[in-house]
């Protein structure tokens, strides 16, 4: 079936991988990338698809209700995949208002525009879907009940490498209550509630997914992995928050994009799916892996840059552990990660080292000034 789909936030990190997958895999679908181009949006991420006949870029703020409503009418939009958001926890600590505006009010503006447009159509909700992309951070923090790590009860391709440990007994399942701690996760939790409310109140076909930390090409270098790869390359200090004991569950970004494709086309309306690879890592272990990998790929002695590790003041309210239980998605829709973590890191480091021009563009000039102001403890 031919569809017209708005992908919001398509110029950002995960969004560009989703846009690329949909534009290439579904030439019969029209893909509209709606993005405000904040500091995190970069059209250079989409050079390879910008001339495709089924791709269109629209620079727009999701909070612009009138603009979004008109676009939906003019383009006859029947699907929305909503990724646009403010996404960095450290920024949310400094500037929570921007997070409430974009993540909460922006999502509400999209929902209301979709509701008015879809309700005005003869077929109403038939063939429509509002797919909201959220994060595992809404569930709050899990405890580090096994600080040394134990053999985990589940595994996937992502966790099939040498390192394969779980640092606690509990995992995030879809039925857990929301307990967000940061302004970022609080704003995402609020947007998730609005999406479910539009289903429960008006009958809008919605789906919500909560994914763990993503890594891979085109991630903005304020996040751990690209920031540290770039700092190791330039032999700049690596600011490790607290003791580096915090645990995150990592998924290669293209595996997330494939999960989004599967759920958009085959997911059950009103359901929530958690997306993750059962791939927990302590920050300090990832940092050491990054140092070894960058050193080796640059022809340096492996590990010679360990002296760059600099322990700094911990992030306020720093969540200790995230660990997703994604068995529902595997069981019901057959999705699994395709890449083992060490392989994914190898590819990711290679990409950032090969794309220094991309990195220089996003870290240069005005941006760096803003960056320095925001993060004065580095």
CB of 320 to ligand NAD, least distance (A): 17
Helix, strand, coil percent content, the chain, rounded in steps of 5: 45, 15, 40
- Distant-in-sequence, close-in-space partners of 255: CB < 8 Å, separation ≥ 6: 158, 277, 337, 338, 339
| Residue 78 found at the interface with ligand NAD (CB under 6 A) | no
In whole angstroms, give the CA distance from residue 101 to residue 306: 40
Which position among 188, 199, 282, 321 is part of the footprint of ligand NAD (CB under 6 A)?
188
User: In sequence order, which residues have a C-beta less than 8 Å from that of residue 304 and are 6 or more positions away?
Assistant: 295
Q: How many CB atoms lie within 10 A of CB 355?
A: 14
**Which of 30, 54, 92, 102 contacts ligand NAD by CB under 6 A?**
102
**Catalytic site residue 218?**
no
Binding-site size for ligand NAD (CB under 6 A) equals 30
Q: Which does 133 bind (CB under 5 to 8 A by kind): ligand NAD, ligand TYD, none?
A: ligand NAD
Question: Which residues inside 3-22 make contact with ligand NAD, applying CB under 6 A?
Answer: 8-9, 11-15
d(CA 27, CA 21): 10
Does the footprint of ligand NAD cover residue 277 (CB under 6 A)? no
Catalytic residue among 55, 117, 184, 218: 184
Whole-angstrom Cα distance, residue 344 to residue 346?
5
- Minimum CB–partner distance for residue 122 and ligand NAD (Å): 30
For residue 325, what is the enclosing H or E element? none
Closest approach of ligand TYD to the CB of residue 378, in Å: 7
Neighbour-count burial of 232, counting CB atoms closer than 10 A to its CB (0-12 exposed, 13-18 middle, 19+ buried): buried
CA distances from 80 to 99, 190, 344 (A): 21, 18, 29
Minimum Å distance from CB 134 to ligand NAD? Answer: 6
Partner touching 282 among ligand NAD, ligand TYD, none, CB below 5 to 8 Å by kind: none
Binding-site ranges for ligand NAD (CB under 6 A): 8-9, 11-15, 35-38, 40-41, 61-63, 83-87, 102, 106, 133, 135, 188, 211, 213-214, 220
Provide the annotated active-site residues. Answer: 136-137, 184
């Amino acid at each position: 079936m031919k569809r017209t789909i708005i992908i919001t936030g398509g110029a950002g990190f995960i969004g560009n991988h989703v846009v690329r997958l949909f534009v290439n895999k579904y030439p019969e679908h029209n893909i509209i990338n709606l993005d405000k181009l904040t500091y995190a949006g970069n059209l250079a991420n989409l050079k390879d698809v910008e001339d495709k006949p089924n791709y269109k870029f629209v620079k727009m703020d999701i909070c612009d209700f009138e603009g979004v409503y008109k676009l939906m009418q003019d383009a006859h939009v029947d699907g929305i995949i909503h990724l646009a958001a403010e996404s960095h926890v450290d920024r949310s600590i400094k500037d929570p208002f921007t997070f409430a505006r974009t993540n909460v009010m922006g999502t509400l503006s999209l929902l209301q525009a979709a509701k008015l447009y879809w309700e005005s159509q003869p077929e109403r909700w038939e063939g429509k879907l509002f797919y909201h992309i959220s994060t595992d951070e809404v569930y709050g923090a899990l405890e580090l009940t096994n600080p040394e790590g134990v053999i985990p009860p589940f595994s996937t391709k992502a966790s099939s490498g040498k390192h394969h440990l779980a640092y606690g007994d509990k995992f995030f399942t879809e039925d857990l209550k929301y307990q967000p701690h940061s302004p970022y996760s609080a704003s995402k939790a609020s947007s998730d509630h609005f999406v479910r409310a539009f289903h429960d109140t008006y009958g809008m076909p919605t789906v919500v997914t909560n994914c763990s930390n993503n890594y891979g090409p085109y991630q903005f270098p304020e996040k751990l992995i690209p920031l540290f790869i770039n700092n190791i390359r330039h032999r700049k200090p690596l600011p490790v928050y607290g003791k580096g004991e915090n645990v995150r569950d990592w998924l290669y970004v293209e595996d997330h994009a494939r999960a989004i494709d599967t759920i958009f086309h085959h997911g059950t309306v009103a359901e929530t799916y958690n997306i993750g690879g059962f791939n927990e890592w302590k920050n300090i272990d990832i940092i050491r892996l990054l140092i070894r990998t960058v050193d080796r790929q640059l022809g340096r002695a492996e590990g010679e840059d360990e002296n760059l590790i600099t322990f700094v003041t911990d992030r306020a309210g720093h969540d200790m552990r995230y660990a997703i239980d994604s068995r529902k998605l595997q069981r019901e829709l057959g999705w699994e990660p395709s890449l083992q973590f060490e392989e994914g890191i190898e590819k990711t480091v290679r990409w950032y080292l090969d794309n220094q021009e991309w990195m220089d563009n996003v870290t240069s000039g005005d941006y760096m000034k803003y960056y320095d102001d925001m993060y004065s403890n580095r």
